[in-house]
Copies of this chain bind each other. A is one copy, B any other.
Amino acid sequence: MVEDEPVINQAVTDRLRGSGYDVVQAWDGPGAVAKFAATAPDLVLLDVMLPGYDGHEVCRRIQAERPVPVLMLTARDDEADILVGLGVGADDYLTKPFRMRELVARVAALLRRVDRAAELATRPATEVGDLRIDAAARRAFVADAEVHLTPTEFDLLLCLAAKPGDVLTRENLYAEVWGWPGASGTRTVDSHVKALRAKIGADRVRTVHGVGYALESGSVA
């Protein structure tokens, strides 16, 4: 967490720690680069405006050292700013003021992306019956025919496919896909499940009344 404003730095740090993350704090450009080398984080949260050298410069340097997901925090909603950031390797942007849960969501999303990439090294594609999911390419196939899934649908399927046959609650799914727990009362998950069913076959997603959904694990009982 790189941010020169103590209040924001601490608030974000606290929140992330509360969510189970291990957080190291830095307050300026040089400090950030040093701590990056020292602690080898999985993700960097980077304010654009910093003493020493600015966020873009920090981003460039740490990316040169080792590829790592970077989430930029910017005060103004400046298009040019964002383009520069993306140019030097930032993966996502957040404009102040932001909601904490938004930040946590994006952090979770970025880390998830990395996690999945890491899993691919050992298991390139998940298969459940005649349903095949290529996480790296983000493509899904039913009986060797590709089905086009939207990003959310794909994430949803990925979650379900991680534990074929097991029931996941809507809140489980929401937390996994959206990065924060809290969609109770809405029908958002249902809507996406419906869309997913329409594309991969309604039978493949089992509804467990009062609990949630599960991916039908083919023959295995």
Contact = CB atoms under 8 A, between A and B. Distances in A.
Interface residues of A, number: 59
B182 A18 contact: no
Contacts of A139: 165, 221
A17 interface: yes
Please state the number of chain copies in the assembly. Answer: 2
A33 interface: no
Interface string A186-207: 0000000000000000000000
Contacts of A18: 59, 63, 67, 70, 88-91
B91 A181 contact: yes
Contacts of A19: 69, 89, 91
15 contacts: A14-B89, A18-B89, A82-B182, A86-B100, A92-B175, A102-B169, A105-B171, A109-B169, A134-B165, A137-B167, A137-B214, A138-B167, A150-B209, A151-B208, A151-B210
